[in-house]
Amino acid sequence: MSIGFRILTRERAVPAALVARFAALPVAVVSDSMHRMSGGGPRLMRMHRSGGMAGPAVTVKARPGDNLMLHKAIDMAEPGDVIVVDGGGDLTNSLMGELMLAHAINRGVAGFVLNGAVRDADAIAEANLPLWAAGITHRGPYKDGPGEINVPVALDGMVIEPGDLIIGDGDGVLAVPYAAAEEVLEKAVAKQAAETRLMAQIGERSNDRSWIDDALRRLGCALPGA
């Protein structure tokens, strides 16, 4: 096996029923349910116009500025997959543009997360397939490799294993580990229900704000009249 230049088979993936339930939740709620300790980082910008994303990860580790393995990953992807590429954050050369995006749409790819650059930004926005990238450049990619498919990758400290759940919306992207997905979902559903109740209380002007002064007293803050 050639470390650094290899293609592996994905052995597992979060099931479609679980993906559908996560797709109905805000990324921020899921993130809070994971103690706010993971995220794709502020460099990843939404390149499509609107809409969210959820699906199991196909991971790619690419040489900066080279998209040979990304081409192969699109051909390997199953409908509903999200392709996650660690391109080293390099913005010198783009990793994909409108031609690759059109092929990915035909393949049923659910979205992309690229720690690298794209080009054809206007066409990407118009196609509106969920896509986050670190930047934009007109300079095209090389196609020489090396690279790896379906190996662990990391974006800004967020580790993604093949088959992990990837979700995204206007707040950014998040990976939910395969083994923890059901537990995280249970917590996120409960948190979303609590936030829905709180929003209703805010609308009724009945929400309890006493926790603020309680926290300030606990932390030793001097309050007026104390």
**Binding-site residue set:** 97-100, 119-120
- In the chain, alpha helices (H): 16-23, 27-32, 68-76, 98-107, 121-127, 181-204, 210-218
Kindly state the tokens that stand for 186. Answer: 């249970």
Dist CA 140 CA 70 (whole Å): 14
Give me the residue label for tokens 């103690």: 35
Q: Which of these, 77, 43, 41, lies nearest to 60 by C-alpha position?
A: 77
Binding site for substrate, by residue number, is 97-100, 119
Binding site for Mg(2+), by residue number, is 120
Dist CA 51 CA 169 (whole Å): 6
In order of 6, 61, 159, the CA distances from 2 in angstroms are 6, 14, 22
Q: Which of these, 112, 115, 110, 52, lies nearest to 81 by C-alpha position?
A: 110
In order of 112, 133, 212, 214, 215, the CA distances from 219 in angstroms are 43, 40, 11, 9, 6
